[in-house]
Structure 1
Amino acid sequence: MSYYLIFGIMASLSLVQLRGTANERLVTTIYCLLVVLIFSSLRGVLGNDHYSYYYAFIYQLDLFEFGYNYLNELSFFIFGQHFNGLLFVVAGISLFFYFFSAYKFTIYPIIAFIIIFCDLYQYFNHSGLRQGIALSVVLLAFYTATKGKYLAFLSLVFVAASFHKVALCVIPAYFILSPSFTRRAIPYLGLVILLAIFHLFSHIFVNYLSESNIRGGNLYFSEHYNVSNIQNYIIGTIKRLIPIMIIMWFIKVRHASAAFISIFDIYMIGFILYLGLYYFYPDIGVRLSSYYFIIEGVLMARLIEEIHNERQKIYGSLIILAWAIIRLLTYTNNPLYNYSLSTDLF
């Protein structure tokens, strides 16, 4: 019920933004951020990885990348053993980057965030805290790339990698989003070649990671983390194909603005990564592709901007919101994501 309440608040505010002034969009965006911040900070046990982060906080274990370890220590210094203090800090950082990025990318930032909230936010920000922070920082890095600011882009990517090293996989995205890059086919071709090479020599690559001292390398490629399931693969593919179908229903991509096309290309890179990796290495496929799929919320919001008919805008927004809540059902029906207030708030 809690998820639907938050969704209802955000959906209502997103519809206000469709006809709102610039000031109204800013106020509703800040209000939405605060609502989700409270929701995420006061939660109890939630997600698959809750206890990994809980015990790392309580016992001050340096188990993760240095950026997260520092944040873990700082939160403990400020809040003592109150784990919700850490959740407040993590949610505050993530939400700032998500909303600030969305606000810079589109005039409909709440629609952009709703798409994130109903899927990746649950899986990463409510469970895998490190990657949740990294994804939010990467989204802002994508925005700087659209402005051709390569130093800002690289700086943000390295900040993201200090929380989750896999974030380095988005470095090629600069050449897709940068306004000075026009050869759209090259990134797709390059990715296909890299995936082919990876699969041809995957046994060498996996053995290297398994035997190396790279933290998490052995775990991410373990059989426990990578159980192939054709049904999950098909369902996941359809799930990631639906946004493409929604876009093609409303507009012809080749006639869209250059900015929209570059954002669409980022999503397509994620789609190719998912198709190429998930069946053989499900965990790696999800983690890598999520760094490109994080652009989906912005993509859907920019789709609304590309639609010029007012009635079609509303129709498109309702379809996007309906698709978002369907995705949220995946988590509301999962016992691991049953929301409850923390019993250790004070």
Structure 2
Amino acid sequence: MKKTLIAVAVMAASGIAFAASNVTLYGVIEEGVVLEKAKHGDTTVDLRSGFDQGSRWGIKGTEDLGNGYSVGFILEQGFNVDSGDEATSGKAFSREAFMYVNGGFGKLGFGRTGALSFAQSNAILTGWAFGTGYGLSSWTSAIGNNFSRMDNVVSYATPVFDGFSVHAMYSNGLTGDSEKWSDNNHYYGIGVKYQANAIRSSLIFEAADNKGTATADTLVSDVLTENQWNALKQTPAWSTVKDDVVKAGTAKKKALYVINYGFEYNLGSWTPMFAYQFAHQNQGRRTHMFGLSAKADVAGGNVMIGARYLFGKDKATKVGASELSVDGDVRAWNIGAAYVYPLSKRTALKAFAGYADSGKEWKNVEAVGYNGYQVYLGMRHSF
């Protein structure tokens, strides 16, 4: 009730009128100290915002339309606690800006949100204790393949039948859809989630067609950041340089296909988990990644442990921050452990330690996600 009243006050103060039946202001603030060292690099100590849970504030609401139908929205902005900066410069709601309709048919929504295998309100990823947080132990860390937050999304989820639900997602342009269809980068995702009794599981297939983007070895995201891409498209020079930027070389990159499978079994005081990822790209990366992890209740808090192993082939001219020419077998593994101790219902202390090591053609990658270690101590407060 207090959150609803606060949200009403915020909206009223900004001069915005609304008639939603339920509007909530919420957020997460996480800040801590990270000690890390990459291979051949210096040991660094820095304050870091959102090491596990990204710091954010948001407004969400629903309105009952009657006859079992409702409409809702989520507006969520990320920020950096240590500097006060936007997490993604130039976006008013960088984490999520999503509107949806619920009914007997399921849930249909539109806007900016996370991929099925990432985070946010439409994600269904299971099977990894660290989820998409905790630095080098994140399922979306450097060694794996993942899809992050996307613009121009249409998302649909069926009702739940005997614990099963089907989820589909499409992005008409990951970084914009103002060009002709063949020059926009498209995402396609479909997944099945099962949750009943002690079992949680998901199987997700995702693809990015990479139309009009980059070379056979380099994504546009490797060349330009999202902010740089969007800024460049607004300049008068775009019409003359777009072909060079879009193609970034002699050939377009082939479509990327990723499969994620996860399984969890809740045994009460602890939950063992298994996760697997297969990624394939013609003339690019072809990898298998396995993860074993668990969550357990220990001394009033929660312990998470996990180990991953990846093997396969990679072909790239840039890996992490390293300008490497990679064309062959790759190997990588990492281990991690975290402990979360609640000080209250909304505040918790967090600690993490992880180590990563790569072999074959990734052995000289100078990045913590491939070769190095991290230690983290921080605090999270939710409101």
After TM superposition, the score normalised by the length of structure 1 is 0.30
Which structure has the highest strand share of the two?
A: 2
Q: Relative contact order: is structure 1 or structure 2 higher (C-alpha 8 Å, sep ≥ 6)?
A: 1
Query: Higher Cα Rg: structure 1 or 2?
Result: 2
After TM superposition, the score normalised by the length of structure 2 is 0.28
